[in-house]
Amino acid sequence: GESVGLHLPTLSVQEGDNSIINCAYSNSASDYFIWYKQESGKGPQFIIDIRSNMDKRQGQRVTVLLNKTVKHLSLQIAATQPGDSAVYFCAENIQSGGSNYKLTFGKGTLLTVNP
Amino acid sequence: DSGVTQTPKHLITATGQRVTLRCSPRSGDLSVYWYQQSLDQGLQFLIHYYNGEERAKGNILERFSAQQFPDLHSELNLSSLELGDSALYFCASSPRHGNSPLHFGNGTRLTVT
């Protein structure tokens, strides 16, 4: 079949605004979640994580919210800066047997910050 | 800088060939993970090693294999290469297996012609 590019959801914000990036995860048994930022030509960079026994966690300018009822994760970035422009991935840790886990990534959201 | 080192940065090879990608994890990390990132599939988990032992497999083709050595560095071997194997290959490491962040290298870009 025809191969198509990965059409990422995109979010465009003005510098200084707050950004909210959303993610739906797949497995109700997942107990650990991570947000990553990937800039062009680089590997994914850890931003913040949250365990399933929490519903909110704050870092520096970032907040992650977890809603297990609807299997939804969000990343809030305060006072968005041009350097925040990147693709953002959510990832869930799914148990793959015994004490083994594999980190499964969502498709990503492209954030563009306009100066 | 994540502390994870991947070599080479770029690799161009022909169909049918075999290549080896190398990864040095962060100092002290026992777990190494390999991921493939392509335009149409996103980031796909391939395989996980912990302290030299294979712990989990993902969507890894039989033509691909990996190992983790006693010094904890890891190699991903890709053989009988096809055009569709062109992608970015990332290695990540973490201190243990389970619920801890993975720290990624900057990847090897493989182009199969």
**Is B22 an interface residue toward A (CB < 8 Å)?**
no
Chain A residue whose CA is closest to B53: A100
Nearest chain A CA: its distance from B102 CA (Å): 7
Q: Could you tell me the pLDDT band of residue B42, with boundaries at 50, 70 and 90?
A: confident
Q: Measure CB to CB from residue B97 to each of A41, A43, A100 and give the nearest one.
A: A100
**Is A45 an interface residue toward B (CB < 8 Å)?**
yes
Residues of A (55-114) whose Cβ lies below 8 Å from B? 89, 93, 96-97, 99-108
Task: Name which of A4-18, A60-74, B59-73 the model is least confident about.
Answer: A4-18
The two structure tokens encoding residue B3: 């502390």
For chain A, percent of residues with pLDDT exceeding 70: 90
- Give chain B's mean pLDDT: 94
B99 with A96: Cβ contact below 8 A: no
β-pairing, A109-114 vs A100-105, is: unpaired
Q: Which residue do the tokens 């335009």 mark?
A: B39
Residues A61-104: pLDDT tens digits? Answer: 999 999 999 999 999 999 999 999 999 999 998 876 666 678 89
Residue that wins the pLDDT comparison between B75 and A41:
B75
Q: How far apart are CA A82 and CA A15, in angstroms?
A: 6
A102 with B56: Cβ contact below 8 A: yes
* Ramachandran bin of A71, using left for φ above 0, alpha for ψ from -120 to 50, beta for the remaining angles: left
Mutate to test the interface with B, among A48, A92, A101, A107 (most CBs of B within 10 A): A101
- Which pLDDT does position A94 carry in this prediction? 80
Spell out which residues of chain A touch residue B2, defining contact as CB-CB under 8 Å: 43, 45
Is pLDDT above 70 for B57? yes
Q: How far apart are CA A89 and CA A75, in angstroms?
A: 10
- Which pLDDT does position B12 carry in this prediction? 98
Beta-sheet strands, E only, within A1-115? 10-14, 19-24, 32-38, 45-51, 56-58, 62-67, 72-77, 86-97, 100-105, 109-114
Amino acid A92 reads: E
